[in-house]
Each structure stands twice: as C-alpha cells, then as structure tokens.
Amino acid sequence: MIAYNATYIQQKFIDYCRINTRSDERSEAVPTTLGQMVLLKTLETELHQLGLTAVSYSDADAYLVGKITSNLKDQTVVPLGFVAHVDTADYPADNVQPIVHPNYDGRDIHYPAAPDRVLSSNAFPALQALIGQTLITGSGDTLLGSDDKAGIAGLLGMAKYLQANPQVPHGDVWLAFGPDEEIGRGAERLIASRFPVEFAYTLDNGQPGDIAYETFNAAAATVTFNGTVVHPGEAYGLMVNAALLASQFIQQLPAGLVPEKSRGYQGFIMVLSNEGNVDKAEVKLIVRSFDTAEYKAMRAHLRREVADLNAQYGAGHVSLTLQEQYRSPGDVIK
C-alpha cells in the first residue's frame, strides 16, 4: 500500500493557489505575467530540496525542468515525463483564499466572499462522489486555480514520496512546469531538448483516475464577406449584400454538426459570432473532431463553401482564414 503524504500535498496546493498566476493574452512577455515567474522560482527551490538533478529554468521558454534520477541498475529503461502548467484561467485571481472542508458532508457550500453564490450538488452532481473526502474551494470571489495547481502539487508529492522511499524502483522521471497553457502559448514554446523524454503525461483538469490519450483536433476559422454596395434604387443585378452572404454561408453548414447535437466522439462546427452589414461581414467558427478524417472533411467543407460563393457572386467576395489550433495525439498513440 502506497501511503502518500496527503498533508504535504494539501499544504503545497494551498500555497500555490495563493500565488496569482493568471496568464494574460495581451502580454508578449515570457511568461506573460510576473506571478507565474514567482511560482516557477518557488518550485525551482523546492525541486532542489527534493533532491532532483538537472534542475534548470530557461528564460527562452519559461519552463522549469528537473529529473528524479533512476535508481535502477538497468540503464536501458526509458525515461518518463510529467508536465503541469503554472498559470490559471482568465478569471479573478487576486488574494485567493482557499477554504478546506474536511470530511465533506455533501451539503451546499456557501462562500464567505460571495453570499449569493452556492456550490450545490444539484448543479454539480459529481460532488456526491466526494462525500467523506477533503474538499478545497475558493472563497467565492476568485478562481481557486485548482487547474493546474493540483497538477503541480501532485508532482511535488510524487517527488517527495520517491525521495522518502528509495526502495521503490523507478527509471529517470523528468518533471516540467510550464507557463501560459490557458492562453495556448506554453507548449509551442517548450524547447524539446530541455525535456529529453519520448513519453510524457500532462497532469491537468479531469476526473480522478482518468487518463486521456486523445482529444479534439481543433481549428479556428474566420470567414470574411465583402459586399458590393450600390444605392438600393440602382441595385438591380449589382448589389452583393455581405450580411446576406454570411447568412447563406451559415445556412449551408452541416446542420447536424453543432455542439448541441454532438456528444461523445462526435465532431462539430460551432459559429462563435456573426457580425456584419451590407458592406462587410465576418463569421467566426471553431472546428472540433476526434476523428482526423472527419476533421479534414469539415475543413474541406468550409473551403468548398467559400469557393462556391465566390463562383456564384464573383471572386474576392468571400475569403477564409483557417488556423490550426491543436491536433489530437490519438492517431499517434493508437
């Protein structure tokens, strides 16, 4: 039976939650906010204390990495990596006050800093599965930041456990702590040679015990519609109304492929916004699918729709920008 040091992990979690590490999409700095640097420097000290080797931080990618050295004679065992991100999502994160609810009884939780808010298992049935456990919440007016301070505390807990239990056999275990995950800029910056593993797990938001090996393939699309503006009295055969082009485009999207009709593995195209007038209109969409073939087909559908409209109304009336956001590792893992 493995006895983890729950008190240690809980205290680390609370300490990290108190540090404001909200990332900032408008910043070009690396990391985007100073608070993330504060936490990374704190973690650097702790990794040294926990006996990790090859601990290093790079200003270029703002990743802190370190290694729990193998205690095996067999040098051929492949190293394994674990990753957690230090930033929190774009919600208030000043003066976070974690509240510990030991032996949670399943009843509604009221927040001291927001009396009108309640955390209830009516709204969140998953809470029922946590009865009898220790629950930690925010105080009501900030994010707690469990995503991903829980991941960080978990990794430190593992390092402490392996340090205290050298009889537990393990190969090289690399840890990486990175910035700006919530704004989608962390992973792309990581200098891969600093994290020399072939396989790594990311610890992040999810249910206890879950291991996810795939996700959506994801793209964002912006479709721009340029109208031909003519006085309405002279418009016959000449006017092209950008707002109507946008509406026609949306009508021709596959009707069943929307989030409100999709579950499980089904993909979707979601219209995020539709703004415009006679002269100019813009439709923003996201494309999501676990299935790479479906993902490519949906992207091809968007391109075809744009080509069809240009064929109908004249070249240059409609243009498409497709930006790939991320790809599912599922195809590779399979």
Task: Indicate which residues carry an active-site annotation.
Answer: 87, 181
Is 147 a binder of Zn ion (CB under 5 A)?
A: yes
By CB under 5 A, is residue 143 in contact with Zn ion? no
User: How far is the C-alpha of 152 from the C-alpha of 166, rounded, in Å?
Assistant: 22
Neighbours of 126 (CB within 10 A): 8
Query: Which of residues 179 and 227 has its CB atom nearest to Zn ion in the complex?
Result: 179
Binding mask 277-316 for Zn ion (x = CB under 5 A): ----------------------------------------
Asked whether position 87 contacts Zn ion by CB under 5 A, the answer is no
**Piece of 53-61, 145-153, 160-168, 172-180 that binds Zn ion (CB under 5 A):** 145-153
DSSP 8-state secondary structure symbol assigned to residue 22: B
Give the range of 109-117, 148-156, 282-290, 292-300 binding Zn ion by CB under 5 A: 148-156
Among 314, 222, 315, CA closest to 275: 222
Closer to Zn ion by Cβ: residue 136 or 223: 136
For Zn ion, the closer CB: 177 or 225: 177
Tally helices (H) and strands (E) across the chain: 7, 13
Buried b (16+ CB within 10 A) or exposed e, 284-307: ebbbbbbbeebbeebbebbeebbe
Examine residue 148 and tell whether it contacts Zn ion (CB under 5 A).
yes
Hey, which residues between 174 and 213 contact Zn ion (CB under 5 A)? 204-205
**Count of residues interacting with Zn ion (CB under 5 A):** 4
DSSP annotation string for 44-93: HHHHHHTT-EEEEE-TTT--EEEEE----S-TTSPPEEEEEE--B-SS--
Binding site for Zn ion (CB under 5 A): 147-148, 204-205
